[in-house]
Amino acid sequence: MKVSSINSSSTNIAMQQRRTFTPPPSKARIFYNDHKATTYSSGILAAGVGVIYLLNTKHISTLAKSIAHSMSKISAEPVAPKRLASIMSGDELLTKLPHLTKTNYEATPENIQKCILKADLHSHSNYSDGTGLVKNLLDDATDYADVLFNKTRQKFIYALSDHDTVEGLKEAMTIMAGNPERYNNLNFVPAIEVSFAHKAEKTGNPCEIAELLVYGINPYSPKVNKFLDNIRQKRTDMIHNFIKEASKACPLTKFSFDEFSKYYEFEKYGNLMNIHWRVYHYAQTKHAVTQHASRMNQNPELLYAKIMENSKGASIGKLHDDGKLPADIQESEAFKDIMHKYEPHVENGKIIASSENTFEEVINAFKDEKGIFMAFAHPFYYAERVDNPAEGLKYFMEHSNGLIKASESFHQAYQSRIRPEDIENLQKETEKLGLLNLGGQDNHNRKLFEYN
């Protein structure tokens, strides 16, 4: 049962990866692919060569070339780098950051209407925990990019940055290469948000998970893909081990990976940090419902299915709140030790994290990628969990192989409890470290802009 469920999830990924690039037949395609233009001899054709030459002078980033090269290797026919002209590398993005202010990242109706919005460098699709399809998010970004360009001659900079996966980026590459002219006014930055465990003195654990945004990556990079496959495997193994130990601790309750996967949405959340919480809630709710079923002389599996059908991802507290579980059936102590073993934690000063990367592992995975850089994602969430945030951020920066060059000072999705002056104070600290500022909506919705 376990094996089949792992296989089905990896088959889906394999299917996504196997999707090859097949550009639709169009005039543009012939035009862009025609490198033999210089062999034309007649005057009329020479004029044509001039047009081709002008198109060819459009700047193509080294990143676009390397992605086109990667795509060509796995597709039926070669992908000309010019088809990916809208791709912006990390190096290019770095040169733009000093010219962008806080308001340029604020996607308010007014800023959109007045074309003050210039960039969005943090967003998620349904390849991680967002709900938007890559195609639709790209469409939203591109529609706005066209308006912005017509009014200001500036291109909208947009980064898709899913959690610990590059599959959405691969789809974006295929879409853009299939119709390059559609994306003329967009600067698309292929990005990813990767997590790592760190010490967090101010929390009860005291180990927490922070995130880095990586800009300008080639989603086909073998090293990056290997790193991502590895963390997914680590998380899958952790869930299996957790369930095995829960079964041993409570042999009268029947636990299974398939059941966990169904009601705690492994396909969607299996590749995310904090997956240990989902498997913990699964163990608790399954055990509680099994006790409830035994009192009522019901089949625990059927009762669990009935209760969880509309309560996916629920904790026991949520089942109590929704009146689906009697209040006297509480969380069991049995799973707390198992949870402690599998959640990222500190032992003898060392971080132990079976389902998370360390900071060093993240840096090691990306240090050989060309033209990329990293930024601290929503740095205030890190700052509020440690005693000396500036010192911590400085340590990470100095141990990042020169990769960390920015901080998401203009993150647009901070909880309202966080005071703007505290965010600004942290910004002053990161600026003192020489980090550039950037920002993004951290959008998880179907539409990229709430107001369009």
* Half-sphere exposure (Cβ direction) of 312: Cα atoms closer than 13 Å: 11
Alpha-carbon gap, residue 138 to 159, rounded angstroms: 10
CA pair distance 438, 432, nearest whole angstrom: 15
Q: Give me the helix-helix angle, 359-366 and 222-249, nearest 10°.
A: 150
Choices 78-86, 149-157, 422-430, 439-447 (CB under 5 A): range interacting with Zn ion: 439-447
Beta-strand pair 404-411/373-376: parallel
Q: Determine the Cα–Cα distance for residues 438 and 448; give it in Å rounded to an integer.
A: 18
CA dist., res. 138 & res. 183, Å (int): 9
What gap in Å lies between CA 9 and CA 183, rounded to an integer? Answer: 32
Q: Which is nearer to Zn ion, 82 or 378 (CB)?
A: 378
Q: Considering only the stretches 50-58, 280-288, 425-433, 437-445, report the one whose residues sit in contact with Zn ion under the rule CB under 5 A.
A: 437-445
Residue nearest to Zn ion (CB): 442
Structure-token pair, residue 435: 């980090």
CB closer to Zn ion out of 126 and 154: 126
Q: What's the closest the beta carbon of residue 168 comes to Zn ion, in angstroms?
A: 13
Residues 187 to 206 in contact with Zn ion, rule: CB under 5 A: 193
Candidate list 164, 343, 356, 442; residue touching Zn ion; CB under 5 A: 442
Question: Using CB under 5 A, which of the segments 106-114, 175-183, 397-405, 434-442 binds Zn ion?
Answer: 434-442
> Helices (H), strands (E): how many in the chain?
19, 9
CB of 442 to Zn ion, least distance (A): 4
Name the helix (H) or strand (E) containing 158.
strand 156-160
User: For residue 438, what are its two tokens?
Assistant: 């950037």
Report in angstroms how near the CB of residue 358 gets to Zn ion at its nearest.
20
Nearer to Zn ion, 128 or 291 (CB): 128
Cis peptide before 206 (omega within 30 of 0): yes
Tokens of 362: 């993240």
Q: Which stretch binds Zn ion (CB under 5 A): 18-26, 186-194, 272-280, 312-320?
A: 186-194
Residue 206: count other Cβ atoms within 10 Å of its Cβ. Answer: 14
- Provide the minimum distance between the beta carbon of 193 and Zn ion in the complex, in angstroms, as a whole number: 5
Minimum gap (Å) between residue 192 Cβ and Zn ion: 10
Beta carbon of residue 412, minimum distance to Zn ion (angstroms, whole number) = 11
d(CA 259, CA 432): 50
The region, left, alpha or beta by phi > 0 then psi within -120 to 50, assigned to residue 371 is: left
Please say which residue, 356 or 442, places its beta carbon nearer to Zn ion: 442
Residue 305 CB-density burial (10 A; 0-12 exposed, 13-18 middle, 19+ buried): middle
Report how many residues bind Zn ion under the rule CB under 5 A.
Answer: 2
Rounded distance, CA 433 to CA 243, Å?
A: 44
In this complex, which beta carbon is closest to Zn ion, that of residue 140 or of residue 193? 193
Edge-to-edge order in the sheet of strand 404-411:
119-120, 156-160, 186-199, 207-215, 373-376, 404-411, 436-440
Residue 49, classified by CB atoms within 10 Å of its CB into exposed (0-12), middle (13-18) or buried (19+), is middle
Closer residue to Zn ion, CB minimum distance, 161 or 284: 161
Q: How far is the CB of 272 from Zn ion (least distance, A)?
A: 10
Only one of the segments 126-134, 215-223, 263-271, 435-443 lies at the binding site for Zn ion (rule: CB under 5 A); that segment is 435-443
The region of 77-85, 270-278, 340-348, 438-446 touching Zn ion under the rule CB under 5 A is 438-446
Nearest distance in Å: CB 161, Zn ion: 6
Show the site string, 207-246: x = touches Zn ion by CB under 5 A, - = not. Answer: ----------------------------------------
Is 162 one of the binding residues for Zn ion (CB under 5 A)? no
Question: Where does this chain bind Zn ion (CB under 5 A)?
Answer: 193, 442
